[in-house]
Amino acid sequence: MNLTHPFLDADGDKLREECGIFGVIGTAEAAATTALGLHALQHRGQEACGIISWDGQQFFARRGLGHVAQVFSDAAIMAELPGAMASGHVRYSTTGGQGLRNVQPLHADLARGGFSIAHNGNISNAMTLKRELVEKGAIFQSTSDTEVIIHLIATSRYPTLLDRFVDALRMVEGAYSLICMTPKRMIACRDPLGIRPLVMGKIGEATVFASETVALDVVGAEFVREIEPGEIVEVRQDGRLTSHRPFGNLPARPCIFEHVYFSRPDSVMGGRSVYEVRRQIGAELAIEAPVEADLVVPVPDSGVPAAIGYAQQSGIPFGLGIIRSHYVGRTFIQPSDGARHADVKRKHNANRALVEGKRIVLIDDSIVRGTTSLKIVQMMRDAGAAEVHMRVASPPTSHSCFYGVDTPERHKLLAARMDVQEMTKFIVADSLAFVSIDGLYRAVGAPGREDGCPRHCDACFTGDYPTRLTDLVEREAEAGQLVLPVGKVA
């Protein structure tokens, strides 16, 4: 196939996920449980991982580049992480960059003892806060925005650690789910809008926190509830649990793209099965964008549930017209552009016996740069497809995310510079359609945007950012550029 398309580049063509966090307190093998939980969250970040444990006397840490199974490969390594409390993190670098010094959980010795933190999300005023802290004499050991929180806690003048923690979080903007450890307790919290997910479970008397319910399932924990937006949950060593709500009750805006792509389909988000939501998105697509065709083909693996829903609603047969190699990691969370580009070429192969001579409906979760869609459409044509119609299980991704998802700059997003007709020509499809924003909300089971009060963060589709974006505004002002629109801040 011709790879000299005018807009084609070597970058990945999926939204890069944030991170995954896991923590447990009150079990004899806390680190082993954490490693198992992180393995269930591996899809949220494959660049690096780390675990910190507490044995009642001191903290123990191990971090490494690579997958959980590579970094925590045997019992001898797990034996180096003793104790009944542990937390862990799987990472893709959204802010900071690659390298071992940015691998979480981060740890620091504060005036009142050791403190560790694992963070999923992105602090949208981290550069501003860091500049102020450095001017006051702070010395940073990493380039991660997460370390800003540690310095804010260390410099707070409040008497108790919890008060210092709250004081620090009042100064940050953006999205965060955090699992923190001190010698006396584990602390879990979500940002006031609940943009990033966090759930709580129980294994016997032990308390577990995780980014997704699938991690609870894998470690044998019973789901208790989601951590509420703006909630801080403390669990002491004796199991006592205390909930704090220092930020009031703002209208929640959890990330809607968790339902579309980020979460595993066997997780539950907001009380809804992720798999069922994705199947329903496909059904909405079939209603909104029908087409005469012979076969519904998912772009594996993320397009499968939506393709099933499209096939069921439309009555068009479902078939695996593309076979994915499961020995290639998820393209967009590989650490180098060259690796991602090579993976795209090795990842999929057309099932010619099924595709040849057929009118195909291709179902994918999103189009970001459009490069992967271009290649997949061409793959279908090379395999003899008579027609190729693309249907996308999310609205056009026309804006960058600043809440922990490493999206390309806006000018690199296909939907930011082209309308649907132009995008159709770009990917060389016979037709192209996206689910509407209202159709997406219907599938999620939430009221749409008609009343002006969206129940999710959908800024990547609408440009309606629910928080201030201080660092972005500063960068654009310095460059003399127009500032992106920002939604109302409650």
> How much of the chain, in percent, has pLDDT values that exceed 70?
89
pLDDT digits (tens, 9 = 90+) for 15-27: 655 799 999 999 9
pLDDT band at 13 (very low <50, low <70, confident <90, very high): low
pLDDT digits (tens, 9 = 90+) for 48-87: 999 999 999 999 999 999 999 999 999 999 999 999 999 9
pLDDT of residue 165 exceeding 80, the answer is yes
β-strand 199-203 against 322-324: which pairing, if any? unpaired
Residue 66: count of CB within 10 angstroms of its CB: 13
pLDDT band at 245 (very low <50, low <70, confident <90, very high): very high
pLDDT of residue 291 exceeding 60, the answer is yes
Rounded to 5 degrees, what angle do the CA atoms 371, 390, 337 make? Answer: 15
Kindly state the average pLDDT of the residues 297-320: 96
Interatomic CA distance for residues 304 and 291, integer angstroms = 18
**Cβ proximity of 463 and 449 under 8 Å:** no
β-strand 85-91 against 174-181: which pairing, if any? unpaired
pLDDT of residue 341 exceeding 60, the answer is no
Residue 334: count of CB within 10 angstroms of its CB: 20
Q: What pLDDT does residue 101 have?
A: 86
How large is the greatest C-alpha to C-alpha distance in the chain, in angstroms?
A: 73
> How much of the chain, in percent, has pLDDT values that exceed 90?
78
pLDDT of residue 45 exceeding 80, the answer is yes
pLDDT band at 337 (very low <50, low <70, confident <90, very high): very low
**Sign for the pseudo-dihedral over CA of 103, 267, 121, 226:** negative
pLDDT of residue 342 exceeding 70, the answer is no
Cα distance from N-terminal residue to C-terminal residue, the chain? 50
Interatomic CA distance for residues 149 and 146, integer angstroms = 6
Q: What pLDDT does residue 143 have?
A: 86
Of the candidates 268, 212, 224, the one whose C-alpha atom is nearest the C-alpha of residue 19 is 212
- 19, 49, 401, 457: the active-site residue: 19
pLDDT band at 409 (very low <50, low <70, confident <90, very high): confident
**Cβ proximity of 95 and 145 under 8 Å:** yes
pLDDT of residue 14 exceeding 70, the answer is no
pLDDT digits (tens, 9 = 90+) for 92-130: 865 555 678 889 999 999 988 999 999 999 999 999 999
Strand segments, DSSP code E, in 318-412 are 322-324, 348-350, 359-364, 387-392
Of the candidates 177, 310, 185, 320, the one whose C-alpha atom is nearest the C-alpha of residue 255 is 177
Average pLDDT, the chain: 90
pLDDT of residue 37 exceeding 70, the answer is yes
Helices (H) and strands (E) in the chain, counts: 18, 21
β-strand 359-364 against 295-298: which pairing, if any? parallel
pLDDT digits (tens, 9 = 90+) for 201-226: 999 999 999 999 999 999 999 999 99
Peptide bond into 105 cis (omega under 30): yes
Kindly state the average pLDDT of the residues 235-250: 94
Domains in the chain, start-ordered, CATH in brackets?
Answer: 19-254 (3.60.20.10), 268-325+347-479 (3.40.50.2020)
pLDDT of residue 489 exceeding 60, the answer is no
**DSSP assigned state of 194:** -
pLDDT of residue 12 exceeding 50, the answer is yes
What is the length of the chain?
490
Burial class (CB in 10 A: 0-12, 13-18, 19+), 160: exposed
Which of 245-254, 312-321, 353-362 shows the lowest mean pLDDT across its residues? 245-254
> Which tokens in the block code for residue 454?
């969206």
Would you call 457 a catalytic residue per the annotation?
Answer: no
pLDDT band at 407 (very low <50, low <70, confident <90, very high): confident
Which DSSP helix (H) or strand (E) runs through 217? helix 213-219
Rounding to the nearest 10 degrees, give the CA dihedral for residues 276, 279, 283, 284: 70
